[in-house]
Amino acid sequence: MKSEVRNPKSEIKIMIVEDSKIVAGKIRKSLENMGYSVTAIVTSGEEGIEKAKEDKPDIVLMDILLEGKMDGIEAAGTIRSRFDIPCIYLTAYADQKILDRAKITEPFGYIIKPFQDRELHSNIEMALYKHEAEKKLKKLNQELQDSLAKVKSLRGLLPICANCKDVRDDKGNWERIENYIANRSEAEFSHGICLKCSKKLYPEFHDKI
């Protein structure tokens, strides 16, 4: 019995946000011919955000000029910030003002219409690779922050002398509690005398009060 051969591209889910049904249909056909899975085709930015929330696609192909109150740039920025889904812009306009607005949303691609299938394919693959690299970097940074937090934290049982209040470290050495805590946390010390000790050490001053 032959084992089923899985196509890794078919597991990549792509959503199309395009207000031209003809263009959207051509893009869908191209994506499916490449082996990708198209989760949805929507015509407005508002609908794109809702479908991104529902379907959680791996990538969004976003037209910039859309029907409705929200254009593709605003929609892509919202999808990126809320759901961390990468977006590739598909547009017939190369206007510098539009490009400057688009760059703020940190797109993973910017393709000028009309485009070739190989250009679409290469942009998708690069976007997926870049997004995966970003996720790994975020994970490593979080692990580093967690490790640093653990290094600068006090944990476990602290053996402390009942008389002088020195603390024994894990190597058996005794040191002042101030030094022990300062070397293992972000705490800083300032010294003073509490009222109880002040009365004990300097009774002459308190007797005059």
pTM above 0.75, yes or no: no
For residue 125 the two structure tokens come to: 């693959």
**129-150 tens-digit pLDDT:** 999 999 998 888 888 777 666 6
Largest pairwise CA distance in the chain: 101
DSSP three-state, residue 110: strand
Residue given tokens 């997926």 in the structure block: 128
What are the pLDDT digits (tens) for 149-207? 665 556 667 788 878 888 888 788 888 888 877 777 777 777 777 777 777 776 766 55
Query: What is d(CA 61, CA 27) in angstroms, rounded to the nearest whole number?
Result: 9
Give yes or no for residue 119 having a pLDDT over 80: yes
165: left (phi over 0), alpha (psi -120 to 50) or beta: left
C-alpha span between 64 and 98 (Å, rounded) = 9
What is the model's pLDDT at position 156? Answer: 67
Cis (ω within 30 of 0) for the bond into 114? yes
CA-CA distance, 74 to 42, in Å (whole number)?
15
Cα–Cα distance list, 113 to 14, 23, 26, 73, 83 (Å):
18, 10, 12, 16, 27
* DSSP three-state, residue 186: coil
Per-residue pLDDT tens digits for 20-75:
999 999 999 999 999 999 999 999 999 999 999 999 999 999 999 898 889 999 99
Query: CB-based burial of residue 101 (10 Å sphere; 0-12 exposed, 13-18 middle, 19+ buried)?
Result: middle
Give the per-residue pLDDT at 6. Answer: 43
Q: What is the pLDDT of residue 185?
A: 72
